[in-house]
Amino acid sequence: MQKIKVGIVGGTGYTGVELLRLLAHHPYAQLHAITSRTEAGVPVAQMFPSLRGVVDLAFSDPASGILNECDVVFFATPHGVAMAQAPALLDKGVRVIDLGADFRLQDTAVFEQCYKLPHACADVLKNAVYGLPELNREAVRQAKLIGNPGCYPTTMQLGFYPLLKNNLVDAGQLIADCKSGVSGAGRKAEVATLFSEASDSMKAYGVSGHRHTPETLEQLRKMTAQDVGLIFTPHLIPMIRGMHSTLYAKLLPEAQHLSNEDLQSIFETTYVSEPFVDVMPFGSHPETRSTRASNMLRIALHRHGDTVIVLVVQDNLVKGAAGQAVQNMNVMFGFDETAGINMLPVMP
């Protein structure tokens, strides 16, 4: 099979270098361009020694036009960058996968309220596909433009989906208590993520409203005819990568007769064919380290009376970002969905 040419915009951040790590040995992809205005001409391996001997490209200036030569371009950039550049690439027949938020929300008013900038291409946005393959695979298969899901929303959607799809819980009383490692904040100099600030400490943030809440609500509403209400509280925990979401949902009266085995069977049946979703035995306690550096997401069920508790873990940089983006690429181009991302977690 002939390899496709891949470009990356924003290859200097954590998700960018994770894309490089995953794509460097992808059997059907050839790294063609990694752009950076500030680092143009600098060898990629000089910035990231972990890629020495594997990635021999230098950073390119995006103005050079080299991205037009690609079959697909990933944007691992701050919000606002992809929507400024994606339309021109799409016009050239280049497929686009945005790891930022520019193409996740279909409601531009909500986007502009959350991200404090106007949406530059609302007409293009209409054709964007939300890239959560487990729930949207056929649309991803036909897509030219993908809005890659956020990390927290991935855990919440895959955790709540079997309950909402089967109308088992009160969708108006969903609670998500989520925790992420500091790499989720990106690769930038910021006091809150300095080692001496984040280590040996834990804190909630975005309690009054987090940017991932509207994205999650938009997708959860597609799963049920009920009105959806979500309380989502993210926390910063003192580790580099990893995400743990504890989800709570109250069973509807007509579903309270279900046994723990019934609930377990519903989750197992929902995800039985999914290569990157592992439904663990009922009552398990998945650890973030069990998914470290892998594209695997693990789910475990618990129950207290009429409340179902769903534990979800993933690596926020892989299934929560770069790995999921490569998974979307695989589906878009008809490759084996696990190609290049079927690696085992790193232990310890």
Torsion 211-212-216-218 (CA) sign: positive
Name which of 158, 202, 209 is nearest 182 in CA terms.
202
> 3-state SS of the chain: helix, strand, coil percent to 5?
35, 20, 40
Q: Are 112 and 148 in contact (CB under 8 A)?
A: no
Name which of 273, 343, 278 is nearest 314 in CA terms.
278
Torsion 161-167-171-176 (CA) sign: negative
| CA–CA distances in Å: residue 55 to residues 12, 19, 33 | 14, 12, 11
Per DSSP, helices labelled H in the chain are 14-23, 44-47, 81-91, 108-115, 122-125, 133-142, 151-165, 195-198, 212-220, 260-270, 323-332
Cα 13 to Cα 255: distance, rounded to the nearest angstrom: 45
Q: Are 297 and 155 in contact (CB under 8 A)?
A: yes
Which position among 70, 121, 151, 178 bears the catalytic label?
Answer: 151
Cα 207 to Cα 298: distance, rounded to the nearest angstrom: 25
- 151: annotated active-site residue: yes
Terminal Cα-to-Cα distance of the chain (whole angstroms) = 36
DSSP letter at 285 equals -
Residues classed as catalytic: 151
